[in-house]
Amino acid sequence: MARPVTIFTGQWADMPFEKVCELMSGFGYEGLEVCTWGDHIDLDQASRSKTYCDEKRGLMEKYGLGCWAISNHLSGQLVCDPIDARHYAFAPAKVRNDPKAARKWAIDMQKKAAKAARNMGVTVVNGFTGSPIWHLLYSFPPCLPGQIESGYREFAKTWKPILDVFADNGIRFALEVHPTEIAFDIASAQRALEALDGHPAFGFNFDPSHLGYQGVDYVKFIRTFPDRIFHVHMKDAWWGHGDGTVGVFGGHTEFADPRRFWDFRSLGHGDINFEDIIVALNDIGYQGPLSVEWEDSRMDRCHGAQESCDFVKGVDFPPSAIAFDAQFDR
């Protein structure tokens, strides 16, 4: 049976939720990965009211859509980051310019996300963790002895109580491995898991677009963490297409700047090998949704979302139940 093809609504949060449902159903999607901003899901309401969640579910069902995960990326960034003026765009006015209050609010929102997921009838919340040590990525001035390990301990101290709430509600947290997070490649993902003592509620939202341009083997990521791939983003990127003036760090340029070494692209227009990904997902037995995260500053988003749905349906295939040569001796 083919995996459901869904789309992450975060890039569509400027639209009313029902309009997104209508649009994506028309494009051929089978479900939504619903974001927790705009009017798509209000975590305060969703965490305390199953009726509210049933109404959201009913709206999706009206358009023939299912839901397997919700996503809570924005507030998660404030949980472990050193908070500065940029972060307040993700937080309510009542905590702005108060880093301690903003962090406390963000931690509370993660716990509410677990309860909201339970009320929505899904088992996965995708999101970000933030990182107390991302600013130490390039070790100059050289990192002090124990500085990186201290960062992972701080991450674990903060996130273990949150993950306990997830476990208590029967929900799994899927970190989108991504620059600026505590895990941004295979090595850092391994360290994050170790810091958490392998907490069973912690895993990954696999997204190859954030790995490929770094030079990380994104198929190896799947095979390294076969029991921790809780959700999958289908998202494309290209690299090596700039004019040589901007490197992998981005040169403080905006997306779609033609000088950039890498950029996000609509599915099928980048350099990610999705067939290898599908093979690896089949090998580990992943049967969850394939969720399009659509980002391409060069393309109309409706055109891109529709062609991406078709692309994913075209590249996915079920694993075989028999060996192809099992009939040779008959």
- For 259-318, what is each residue's pLDDT tens digit? 999 999 999 999 999 999 999 999 999 999 999 999 999 999 999 999 999 999 999 999
Domain-embedded: residue 320: no
Domain-embedded: residue 71: yes
> CA of 287: how far to CAs of 68, 232, 320, in Å?
11, 10, 14
CB distance 319 to 282 below 8 Å: yes
> CA of 95: how far to CAs of 28, 78, 83, 109, 155, in Å?
40, 12, 12, 13, 22
Which residues 6+ apart lie within 8 Å of 2 measured at CB? 313, 316, 317, 318
**Cα–Cα nearest to 137, from 183, 86, 168:** 183
**Could you identify the residue written with the tokens 């941004």?**
184
Domain-embedded: residue 134: yes
Per-residue tokens: 70: 């919700």
Quote the domain boundaries for residue 57.
5-315
Phi, psi of 89 (to 5 degrees): -65, -20
Mean pLDDT (the chain) is: 96
% of the chain beyond a pLDDT of 90: 95
Count how many domains the chain has. 1
pLDDT over 70 (residue 98): yes
pLDDT 10s digits, 190-201: 999 999 999 999
Domain-embedded: residue 74: yes
CATH number of the domain within which 142 lies:
3.20.20.150
Domain-embedded: residue 325: no
> CA of 125: how far to CAs of 69, 76, 113, 145, in Å?
6, 11, 7, 35
Phi, psi of 305 (to 5 degrees): -65, -40
CB distance 145 to 151 below 8 Å: no
**What letter represents residue 247's amino acid?**
G
Q: What is the pLDDT of residue 241?
A: 92
CA dihedral 275, 277, 278, 280 (to 10 degrees): 130
